[in-house]
Amino acid sequence: MEKTSRRVFLKNVALAYTATTIPTTLQDIYRPVKHLGVQLWSVRDDMNKNPASTLETIAGMGYKEVEGFGYKDGKMFGLSIQEYLRVLKNNGLKMPSAHCGFSLADYSESGGLSDRAKKAIDDAVKMGQKYIIYPWIPETERKEVKKITQVAAAAAEYAKKAGIRFGYHNHDFEFIQRGPDGRMLMEWLLQEIDPKLICFEMDIYWVCYANQKPIDWFKRFPGRYELCHAKDMAKTEMRETVEFGDGSIDFVSIFQQSKLAGLKYYIIELEHYKTTPLQGIGRARTNLAKLDW
């Protein structure tokens, strides 16, 4: 019998399962994505009701990594750090990154970074995270572009000393809100903070929603995007989110530039649902795992 390379064999076997969930042991061997996770905001109601059961279901889909959110006063989803880490470990899951809110109140030129922000970063280190991500700026603060940059820079500097990478996650407003010199808020964050201190988690959907091109930003700021959120855009007037692979975004072309971008972590997320949130992230994972570029 003619010999076939292991890669080709595994690929052909995996393609035979395109109508169903692809066996994790096969799909993750040949795909270029080593770190494929899910942002738990996608299943927030399930996590708030029963985090242990929800994480068990997620692990059963083949996920090995999750991205957290909702840290508050030393707890995740109402669980102590120790309890939460135990649940992750029991399900074979890791949490390389998590979102954590910061605000203008977390920094002053006279007092530096707030104790609250320092504790959040220190607790992220305790949870074994590689990244702590600044995920959202309240609308009331968005005009304070310079101050936002100062908060991010101070938190990023503290994070580096603590041994964790500080990142920023975009929506669409960062491409709309401009600073006093006319530059976009996104440009301020990318240009005014030392690249050694901060990286970026590109939400590809929101970049496209803002009528920007992800690849253009990769070219302007190569190597700066270590993480990304992968959710698709519906082919409707509302352009709402849909499961990865079911929309209009050309992810093949975008992911072909992963090396240029510096991408290491690919994170599924959903904000709108055709079915249930858990079914949605399951379908999105299957679609991304099938994608070849």
Task: Say yes or no to pLDDT of 3 above 90.
Answer: no
Distance CA 227, CA 200 (A): 7
Site of tokens 């709108």:
272
Asked whether residue 28 is domain-assigned, the answer is no
pLDDT for the residue numbered 293: 86
pLDDT in tens, 184-238: 999 999 999 999 999 999 999 999 999 999 999 999 999 999 999 999 999 999 9
Average pLDDT over the chain, rounded to an integer: 91
Asked whether residue 19 is domain-assigned, the answer is no
pLDDT for the residue numbered 195: 97
Residue 179: pLDDT band with limits 50, 70, 90: very high
pLDDT for the residue numbered 124: 98
Asked whether residue 233 is domain-assigned, the answer is yes
Q: Please tell me the pTM assigned to this model.
A: 0.89
Task: Say yes or no to pLDDT of 277 above 70.
Answer: yes
**Interval 99-105 mean pLDDT:** 97
Task: Say yes or no to pLDDT of 12 above 80.
Answer: no
Q: Name the E strands within the chain.
A: 35-39, 65-68, 75-76, 79-80, 94-99, 107-108, 112-113, 131-134, 165-169, 198-203, 225-230, 232-233, 241-242, 265-268
Task: Say yes or no to pLDDT of 163 above 80.
Answer: yes
Reference 204, options 194, 195, 191, 213; nearest CA is 213
**Count of structural domains, the chain:** 1
Could you give the maximum distance between any two Cα atoms of the chain, in Å? Answer: 75
Tell me, what CATH number does 205's domain have?
3.20.20.150
Asked whether residue 225 is domain-assigned, the answer is yes
**Interval 239-265 mean pLDDT:** 97
Q: Encode burial over 97-132: b for 16+ CB neighbours within 10 A, e otherwise.
A: bbbbbbbeebbeeeeebbeebbebbebbeebebbbb
Asked whether residue 23 is domain-assigned, the answer is no
Asked whether residue 111 is domain-assigned, the answer is yes
pLDDT in tens, 22-40: 444 434 433 568 999 999 9
Asked whether residue 7 is domain-assigned, the answer is no
First to last CA, the chain: 29
Q: Kindly state the DSSP code that residue 184 receives in the 8-state scheme.
A: B
pLDDT in tens, 31-84: 568 999 999 999 999 999 999 999 999 999 999 999 999 999 999 999 999 999
**Interval 111-117 mean pLDDT:** 97
Asked whether residue 211 is domain-assigned, the answer is yes
pLDDT for the residue numbered 31: 56
Task: Say yes or no to pLDDT of 98 above 80.
Answer: yes
pLDDT for the residue numbered 15: 43
* Domain span including residue 68: 35-290
pLDDT in tens, 119-133: 999 999 999 999 999
